[in-house]
């Protein structure tokens, strides 16, 4: 932000601001930096100071010289900065992390896709779906897509009760298959434990 103090502040016509106003604005730069820590964009800071200078110049042209120029300039700079920060483009910039901070945040987040548990669940679901008929698989896919029993029944030209009954039977098949699988793995584990103790 030091570049604001080094460059010439311009008015709307591209002419340098009154040196008295520009000098006061340059003195306010360190205070501005402490107040608006997140404003690191040099161009935006320059625009804020130039707009504040233009407003001060317009006020003095309409009402005469400002009595306490430094206080008036500070209030004007703060108001212009707040106004700029309220723009939708700045809301996005404030809500966005820089690349280093983004990496730090992403590094702490837990992934739910591609985990061993999720991959195993997908494989199990595929195995269970393979045991179903074409009609049962289609019903499961529609249910998974969020269709209601009424919508599915209307699409298939059948009753809601038939859809619900079929879906109940599918869930029961899944439950039985899972119980067999769990029971088989439990019996294998208990046999291995008995063999080790013997």
Domain of residue 145, CATH code: 1.10.10.10
Predicted local confidence at residue 40, as pLDDT: 77
Over residues 19-45, the pLDDT tens digits come to 898 889 999 999 998 888 877 788 888
Are the beta carbons of 3 and 28 closer than 8 angstroms?
no
**CA–CA dist 86, 144 (Å, integer):** 42
pLDDT band at residue 8 using 50, 70 and 90 as cut-offs:
confident
Rounded percentage of the chain residues whose pLDDT exceeds 90: 25
User: Residue 91's CB: how many other CB atoms inside 10 A?
Assistant: 11
124 and 87 assigned to the same domain: no
Q: What three-state secondary structure class fits 117?
A: helix
91 and 120 assigned to the same domain: no
Domain boundary among 56, 73, 108: 108
- pTM value? 0.45
6 and 68 assigned to the same domain: yes
Over residues 95-134, the pLDDT tens digits come to 666 677 777 777 777 777 777 888 888 888 888 888 889 9
**CA–CA dist 70, 23 (Å, integer):** 10
81 and 24 assigned to the same domain: yes
What's the total number of domains in the chain?
Answer: 2
User: Which segment, 26-35, 85-94, 185-194, is predicted with the most confidence on average?
Assistant: 26-35
51 and 139 assigned to the same domain: no
Domain of residue 34 covers 2-108
100 and 122 assigned to the same domain: no
To the nearest 10 degrees (0 to 180), the angle between helices 134-144 and 160-197 is 100
Domain boundary among 108, 141, 174: 108
More confident residue, 39 or 64: 64
12 and 38 assigned to the same domain: yes
Q: What φ, ψ does residue 146 adopt, rounded to 5°?
A: 100, 10
192 and 175 assigned to the same domain: yes
61 and 136 assigned to the same domain: no
Domain boundary among 108, 127, 162: 108
């Amino acid at each position: 932000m030091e570049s604001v103090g080094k460059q010439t502040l311009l008015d709307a016509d591209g002419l340098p601001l009154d040196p008295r106003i520009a000098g006061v604005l340059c003195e306010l730069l360190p205070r501005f930096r402490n107040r608006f820590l997140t404003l690191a964009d040099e161009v935006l800071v320059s625009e804020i100071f130039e707009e504040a200078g233009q407003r001060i110049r317009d006020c003095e042209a309409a009402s005469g010289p400002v009595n306490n120029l430094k206080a008036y300039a500070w209030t004007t700079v703060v108001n212009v900065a707040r106004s700029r920060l309220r723009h939708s483009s700045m809301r996005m910039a404030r809500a966005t992390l820089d690349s280093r901070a983004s990496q730090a945040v992403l590094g702490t987040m837990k992934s739910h896709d591609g985990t061993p548990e999720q991959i195993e669940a997908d494989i199990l679901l595929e195995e269970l779906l393979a045991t179903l008929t074409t009609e049962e698989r289609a019903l499961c896919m529609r249910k998974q897509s969020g269709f209601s029993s009424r919508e599915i029944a209307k699409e298939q030209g059948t009753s809601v009760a038939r859809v619900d009954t079929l879906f109940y039977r599918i869930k029961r098949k899944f439950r039985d298959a899972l119980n067999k699988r769990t029971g088989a793995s439990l019996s294998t584990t208990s046999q291995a434990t008995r063999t080790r103790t013997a």
